[in-house]
Structure 1
Amino acid sequence: MPAPDSRHPYSPDELAALYPSNLRLHLVHVIFRHGERTPVVPRFQNAGLAPFWPYCQATSRFKAAVMEPEADWSFLTFQRRMETFGKKGGNVVAMGPGGEKDNVCPPGELTDRGRETTLQLGQRLRHLYVHQLGFLPENLGTQSECYLRSSPIARALESLEQVFTGLYPSANRSPMNPPLTIYTRSFAEENIFPNNASCRRLDQLSRAFAKLAAEKWNDSPEMQHLQSRIGKWVDGKIAVDGHPNLCGITDTVNATLAHGETTKLPNEFYEPRVREIMDDITVDEWYRGYSQSSEYRRLGVGSLLGDVKDRMLSSVNDDTNKDGRLKIGLMGCHDTTIAGLLASLGGFDKKWPPFTSSIAFEMFREKRQNKSRNVFSKLFGATNEEEGWYVRLKYNDKPVYVKGCKMAGRHLEGDESFCTLTAFKEIVEKMVPKDLKDECLRNMDKTGIPPIEEVE
């Protein structure tokens, strides 16, 4: 679905409520879904939807690093055009719905709209953390203040580049700065999204929950409603495990909603009840496992949460405002990352994350420690180093209430959205696999749905 509506900056009253004067912001990690893209698979040409969309102007502005004679390096500027099979089997230039040959997007590519919304996310981060809070410097300082990471999928990397450009436009970056470092991993070692392809047990569990969703929904009144409204454009019966599957149909609907009128489906696809049913069923299929199985949480997002937690704990030992201290991490990821994190922490609204959705993990230090609260916190295992530290999550600018932080002594007095660092650490450590590769190969003899283990 389209990105969250751009909201106005926080008002002074909102800012004061969200950022109490007795807390000092110390570290931020922003994990965000990529921006709007084309459908990952072309569908519904029988409903008049063009297979190729002309929404990718970046394709006319590509540069590639190339080696010249004598081992010198330069940049090769080029534009890309897509080829496809013609009606008679020969190769032809792929064209958009109006005959466009340039700026044509392949399936799953970040579009101009996606670049716009991720740029806007970066601009919102700049306004908040630079202008309103004064947490980040006006101009980019040492690179060690920023941690940039993306999944190896192009739309996530390009979204990260756009978010960073919104946070630090070219006018606020010195040409004397060294090139940015952006971290990626191989697909086999990627943990920035639930990696079914490299984790056999996670894939097995995902298939089991998908089968459960099919058994629950395929013959339901809700699916019958979809069949009555959009079934004439689908070959066969609409189903969770149909062809196309319901998730694929939903993906195309959400992608078309975000773009121009020449790439729209018939009106029936956008009826509120149709969209509500599709969202409810696909969310149940993909994300029920996180709220029900501790193993699912560990294999899906536990490793990523562990990385965020480890940077927080390392930062506790560097409680200064000196130049060079890590202050912000930006991580370009996917919808399955966002929903998996929220569901694992008990703060999921059970709505599919829109394009450019973000979770900000903010860590704070108490300016003046309250002795009575420090004594109370020790009862819950806080170390001296962790006393007075808090973690707060915001999903699309709104605080997330982590389920395991609601108990007295595990949050900032008077505000349950601020977990104590100790409580957050304990919650996350229960999800972090000791050896992810090993756990991905365990329990393969256990078929079906695991026993219910609710998020604590």
Structure 2
Amino acid sequence: MSSPKDAGSSSSRAHSGSSPLDVDGYPVAPPDLELAQVHVYIRHGERAPVGVRLTDPPAGLPEHWMLCHTARNFQAAVASGSAAIPGAPRVVGWSSRGKGESLQTRRVVERVDGAAAPGECLLGELTDVGRQTTYDFGVALRRLYIDRLGFLPDVASLNEEVYLRSTNVPRTVESLQQITHGLYPESKSGGFAPQLRIRNARDENLFGNTGACKQLEVLQIGFAKAAAKEWNESLAGLDHKLSKYLGGTGLRLDGKPRASGVLDTIRAATAHGVPVPSEFKEPEVMGLIEKAVVHEWFADKTEEVRRLGMGPLLGDLAHKLHAKAANGAADPLKILIHSTHDTSLAALCSTLDVFDERWPAFSSSITFELFRKRQATEAQPSIWQSVMAPFQKQRSSPSSEHYIRMRYQNRDLALPVCAGEGKHYPGAPEFCTLDAFRERVEQLTPVEWEAECTPPASI
């Protein structure tokens, strides 16, 4: 990936395949700011399509994706056949002698006819390509935050310094495992046993949780219907080019297949070098489809949708940033890596009014970097300074000397809510004051979650 100033030249790569982290083009902070904490939100790596589409002639895309040869062998902990002490509960994965037992297995995908082909992907599964790009992302994190900036320790030792979390979806869990291995390979693990955190479905906030928030689901369905009315006529202009690949029907936001599904399949195929019909390579065709799908998912979202969708995630983020700012070295947490989805990244950008209206590429990432003002090296303080120091500390909040920088697709993003005077670092609007950032997040964070998630008709 090119540096931010050249980002436009690589936009086609970023939006059709993966989006690697650019270490060499990373812009350093002003000299009087030092990095304190990093929050990473990354879309999983390349995967197979989540549905079977465009397989009939003349499109002829594969029904079965033979791109998942890696990590098919497993060694799983199993229960021992005997207990060490009569009547004592058995511990899964440990024998009566206290030694671990394991079972070697090999996973294959079985088709409806009973055939099982080695290397076949499940729908939506992380492919060998996706494993490599997420591993490479972890390596890039290491190059940036360890080798270049010296921010993280060379050898991992504490779970307290590294926070790892994924949604409960195999492709995001496996992506996070690959990233972790790239960041801290076995030779640098130092006995570090990383904890991969996963929340129960009702508690998930790494995406807009419509399963736990009925009102959010109602609102999103309404937006989708409105988008279909607005964009289907424009999409009909592509019928003469695309209907032959869709069984004679036109491509519509609410059609079968849905336009979002077709976009997903084409993006997945392109990312893996799978040939697609020439019409799906035309910028005018794909540009219109992308605009319509992005509008369906993210345009014209109200403050209510932002609160119910990304508010809980941003609330968690702001809480951890403030804890670090308030506690300093007493809070050892340095990097937090969240493995999530394209809709999460786009929704975050949309909620903060910095969305580029492009569907996020595989392994795209958003980072929120927390910086603090460096402590100036001064001569021995005077008696007057010593007397006044406690009172000066009380007058200033811990976050007043801290700044947030948001980066997406290797670009710094200047948040509109931080544009005002005193709300960003002088001369660098991309460095938002933590106070200004928290003020906006407080507006976006639901106070009575269950009440706000209950549709008015059911109250």
- Shorter-chain TM-score bucket reads 0.7 to 0.9
Q: Give the equivalent residue in structure 1 for 2:281.
A: 270
TM-score after normalising by structure 1: 0.86
Whether 1:304 aligns to 2:323 is: no
Query: C-alpha distance in 2, partners of 1:8/1:311?
Result: 26
Corresponding residue for 1:112?
Answer: 128
Identity percentage over the alignment? 36
Identify the match of residue 361 of structure 1 among 362, 368, 375. Answer: 368
Residues 148 and 429 (structure 1), Cα distance of their counterparts in 2 relative to 1, 3 Å cut: same
Task: Give the whole-Å Cα distance in 2 for the aligned partners of 1:66 and 1:366.
Answer: 51
What pairs up with 1:347-386 in 2 under 5 angstroms?
A: 347-368=354-375, 383-386=396-399
Deviates more, 1:65-74 or 1:232-241: 65-74
**Aligned partners of 2:18, 2:35: CA distance in 1, in Å?**
25
Displacement, 1:44? 1.3
Q: Per-residue deviation at 1:4?
A: 4.0
Aligned to 1:224: 236
Listed one character per residue, the Cα deviations across residues 34-60 of structure 1 (whole Å, up to 9, x for unaligned) are 111001011111121221111112352
Counterpart-to-counterpart distance in 1, 2:22 and 2:262:
33
Q: 2:140 aligns with which of 107, 110, 124?
A: 124
Q: How many residue pairs align between the two structures?
A: 409
| 2:21–2:137 contact (8 Å) kept in structure 1 | no
Q: Is the 8 A contact 1:2 1:36 kept in 2?
A: no
Q: Which residue of 2 aligns with 1:98?
A: none
Asked if 1:80 is matched to 2:89, the reply is no
For 1:5 and 1:227, locate their aligned partners in 2 and report how far apart those are by CA, in whole Å. Answer: 31
Q: Deviations over 1:76-118 (max 9, x none)?
A: 2211222222xxxxx2315xxxxxx211101000011111111
Q: Could you say which structure has the larger radius of gyration?
A: 2
Distance 2:427 2:111 in 1: 60
- Of 150-159 and 266-275, deviating more is 266-275
In structure 1, the residue matched to 2:4 is none
In 2: Cα distance, 1:69 partner to 1:57 partner:
32
Write the letter of the residue equivalent to 1:386: S
> Using the alignment, how far apart are the partners of 1:144 and 1:28 within structure 2?
14
Separation in structure 1 between the aligned mates of residue 309 and residue 24 of structure 2, nearest angstrom: 33
Report the RMSD for the aligned CA atoms in angstroms. Answer: 1.9
Aligned mates of 1:413, 1:335 — CA distance in 2: 33
Does the 8 A contact of 2:19 with 2:363 survive in 1? no
Gaps of 5+ in 2: 1-14, 83-89, 95-99, 377-394
Identify the match of residue 233 of structure 1 among 219, 223, 245: 245
CA distance in 2, matches of 1:216, 1:60: 45
Q: Give the 3 Å change call, closer, same or farther, for CA 4–398 of structure 1 in structure 2.
A: farther
Secondary structure at the aligned position of 2:346 is classed as helix
Which residue of 411, 434, 439 corresponds with 1:421? 434
Contact 1:3 / 1:117 at 8 angstroms: preserved in 2? no
Q: Distance in 1 between matches of 2:449 and 2:362?
A: 28
1:435 is matched with 448
Q: Which amino acid aligns with 1:29?
A: H
CA offset at residue 206 of structure 1? 0.6
SS at 2:405's partner residue? strand
Alignment check: 8 A CA contact 1:59 1:103 kept: no
Q: Which residue of 2 aligns with 1:55?
A: 67
Is contact 2:291–2:357 with CA below 8 Å preserved after alignment? yes
Q: What aligned pairs does 1:400-411 form with structure 2 within 5 A after superposition?
A: 400-411=413-424
TM-score (norm 2): 0.85
Q: Deviation of residue 269 (structure 1)?
A: 1.5
Residue identity opposite 1:44 in structure 2: L
Shift of 1:368: 4.7
The equivalent residue for 1:30 is 40
Distance in 2, matches of 1:146 and 1:355, equals 23
Using the TM superposition, name which of 59-68 and 133-142 deviates more: 59-68
Please tell me the residue identity of whatever aligns with 1:422. Answer: D
1:444–1:234 distance in 2 versus 1, CA, 3 Å: farther
Structure 1 partner of 2:114: 92
SS of 2:101's equivalent?
Answer: strand
